[in-house]
Amino acid sequence: MVVLLLSLLVSLGSITANAAPIVSVYLSTNKPYYTYGESGTLHVTVRNEKDHGSIEIKNITVTFPWFGWYNDKWDGNDTLPDINAAIAENATSETFEFPFTIPAEGRGVSLASSAYVVVVYTRGEESSYEDGYITIPIELPVTQNQNLTPILYLLGIDTVLLILVIIGLAYVWMKKQTPLPSATT
């Protein structure tokens, strides 16, 4: 029974492995991190990894983490429709670029939010898709303040002065202590 079950699993695995092409989506940004209000570019490259014939990219959709209804319009998503770019076996597509701007007005964007990318492609008459995520890191707002360095210096000086005052008070307190009389026998 176990041998029959294992042979069934192996045959199903080999059938499904040969049924669909392996398509990889590679994502990158033009900078390692961004600040609020800053613009950037998301790069999308598609690779046909498996020897099952060519595929044709139909469209690419990107949903950024700040996607939503703002100022009477949808904002934060982008689609390249009707691409119709053929990719041969073991070949890579051109790199598609999606410009974006990190919102500056305080939308619900966390400091490390992910963009979601969906690539729709066909192989012959069969349509399929591949998706992926990429993190778009956003710099902490406090590090964008030009007055931060002097504030940190003042905080350090205040800390040192506080420690010196505590040491001085402890010294004065210890000097004021009167010794206990010694026991006489």
Residue 42 CB neighbours (<10 A): 20
158: in domain: yes
185: in domain: no
37: in domain: yes
128: in domain: yes
Structural domain boundaries enclosing 68:
2-139
- pLDDT digits 0-9 by tens, 58-82: 999 999 988 888 888 888 889 999 8
The domain total for the chain is 2
77 and 111 part of one domain: yes
28 and 96 part of one domain: yes
130 and 162 part of one domain: no
- pLDDT digits 0-9 by tens, 134-175: 988 887 666 556 677 788 889 999 999 999 999 999 988 888
135 and 149 part of one domain: no
Sign of the CA dihedral with 8 first, then 10, 11, and 12 last = positive
